[in-house]
Chain A
């Protein structure tokens, strides 16, 4: 079976369900004495899963500056989640809470995996994308994390700033991180036209999805009158 056959079996969704079950029913909740240790362990697991990609790609000769630097949204999210879980830095949680679920779910629906992709890396892909979708939601719903009020334009602003920087990096490297220089190599309903037209529709979708996400998780924003923890506070 090649990678596409494995994807067709629904493997990605089984792995997603497994991560969901573990985080929802097995992982400790706020108030549990095991929570701190679990969060550190989760950081190590995300890091190990990501390191597995780099080691495997290097050994297989697939590692490249154009494809393997951690500049895709989901890779940046993994690094921010590791950083947040180890240090408690709030900015890392806040950005990953939006990027992870909204970016990761696109990758789960339309995985950009070639047919000859090595099976363990297919598993790694689905585990990492399930983690970036589910870990921020677990941290909000079960582990007490909160988003700031009026976060819509700030997160849209950060996202565009990163996209602009990555566009310039891509131009110098000949890469396509965050897919801001060329459409991603997937058949996705949001993708129309060439550069920069497809970006406009992705951006419209980004606005709509972020608004929907913040509305859906409005219970997990800081209530009126309660101060937000400052950046850097654990």
Chain B
């Protein structure tokens, strides 16, 4: 079954990615465009 193995280190990278985005967001660096899109 080793070929279906998912590397758990990847999950750490994934969490770190979201943590970085969260920090940037709270610091105000991720202000998305003000151009609102009509749903």
Contacts and interface: CB of A to CB of B under 8 A. Distances in A.
Interface string B6-32: 110010001001100100010000101
B12 to A, nearest CB: 11
Nearest to A157: B10
Contacts, number: 51
Interface stretch (A14-22, A55-63, A173-181): A173-181
Interface string A85-120: 000000000000000000000000000000000000
Interface string A139-165: 000000000011011001000100000
A40 interface: no
B5 to A, nearest CB: 7
A170 B33 contact: yes
Size band of the interface chain B makes with A: 10 to 19
A214 B1 CA distance: 12
A176 to B, nearest CB: 5
B3 A221 contact: yes
Nearest to A194: B32
Interface of B: 2-7, 10, 14, 17-18, 21, 25, 30, 32-33, 35-37, 39
